[in-house]
Homo-oligomer: A and B are copies of this chain.
């Protein structure tokens, strides 16, 4: 029997978060307590919690203890805030609109992106996010109902699917691919811009434990949209 590693502690706590035993806002037991439970030294627990804090999973404050964070604002290097927060930060009122919702077999590129067998149906949503009187984002999303069956029953008329998914599936892996494209006629109409105007397209795919959850194509008017990323030097 080997000794308890800080990796064991880390994995155990992550598992508790994934399973819902620890929810955002909850306080993780203190280092001393956990060290007792795991039968290891406090420093070992310390390292596990420290790395979880670095990863943005928990927040630590002296005396106050360790609290599970909201999974939203994950990494500082590549900050992709929720659409709502992004818009409200500019002072504009945010409005969400569900344009279409159906369950259908996705087109081939989407199907392959989600790793689905041909013929399998998925949830298809089209939404619009407004910043005041301007369209900020047009969202075309497919959700893998095999992985997230509860999405079938979810009501996306009041709240966007992204917020819902972040709630339902924390700690997932995300891939973003950005590109610039000329808006098609339909896209231009929905975005309230001229056909052919440059749009900034984000293709976002999300996995949990190797299984694709969702694939979203997010379109923004190119003239107004800005995406920033900072790489900080060590220290």
Q: Is A14 an interface residue (CB 8 A)?
A: yes
Most buried by B among A14, A75, A229: A229
CA distance A108 to B223 in the complex (A): 20
A174 and B231 form a contact (CB under 8 A): yes
Q: A173 — nearest CB in chain B belongs to which residue?
A: B233
Contacts of A178 in B (CB 8 A): 178, 200, 226-229
Q: Is A124 an interface residue (CB 8 A)?
A: no
We find that the number of chain A residues with CB closer than 8 angstroms to chain B is 44
Stretch from A115-123, A133-141, A179-187 contacting the other chain:
A179-187
Q: Is A91 an interface residue (CB 8 A)?
A: no
- Minimum distance in angstroms from A24 CB to a CB of chain B: 15
Contacts of A30 in B (CB 8 A): none
B196 and A196 form a contact (CB under 8 A): yes
Q: Is A51 an interface residue (CB 8 A)?
A: yes
- Minimum distance in angstroms from A222 CB to a CB of chain B: 3
Contacts of A34 in B (CB 8 A): none
A180 and B222 form a contact (CB under 8 A): yes
Q: Give the residue of B180, B220, B235 whose beta carbon is less than 8 angstroms from that of A200.
A: B180
- Minimum distance in angstroms from A186 CB to a CB of chain B: 16
Q: Give the residue of B174, B222, B233 whose beta carbon is less than 8 angstroms from that of A182.
A: B222
Contacts of A11 in B (CB 8 A): 235
- Minimum distance in angstroms from A73 CB to a CB of chain B: 11
B200 and A182 form a contact (CB under 8 A): no
Q: Residues 12-52 of chain A: 1 if any B CB is under 8 Å from the residue's CB, otherwise 0?
A: 00100000000000000000000000000000000000011
Q: Give the residue of B55, B181, B223, B226 whose beta carbon is less than 8 angstroms from that of A234.
A: B55
Q: Is A171 an interface residue (CB 8 A)?
A: yes
Contacts of A229 in B (CB 8 A): 78, 175-178, 229
- Minimum distance in angstroms from A225 CB to a CB of chain B: 6
Q: Give the residue of B177, B180, B197 whose beta carbon is less than 8 angstroms from that of A228.
A: B177
Contacts of A175 in B (CB 8 A): 228-231
B172 and A233 form a contact (CB under 8 A): yes
Q: Which 8 A-B pairs have the closest CB atoms?
A: A180-B222, A180-B180, A180-B200, A198-B198, A55-B234, A180-B198, A178-B227, A176-B229
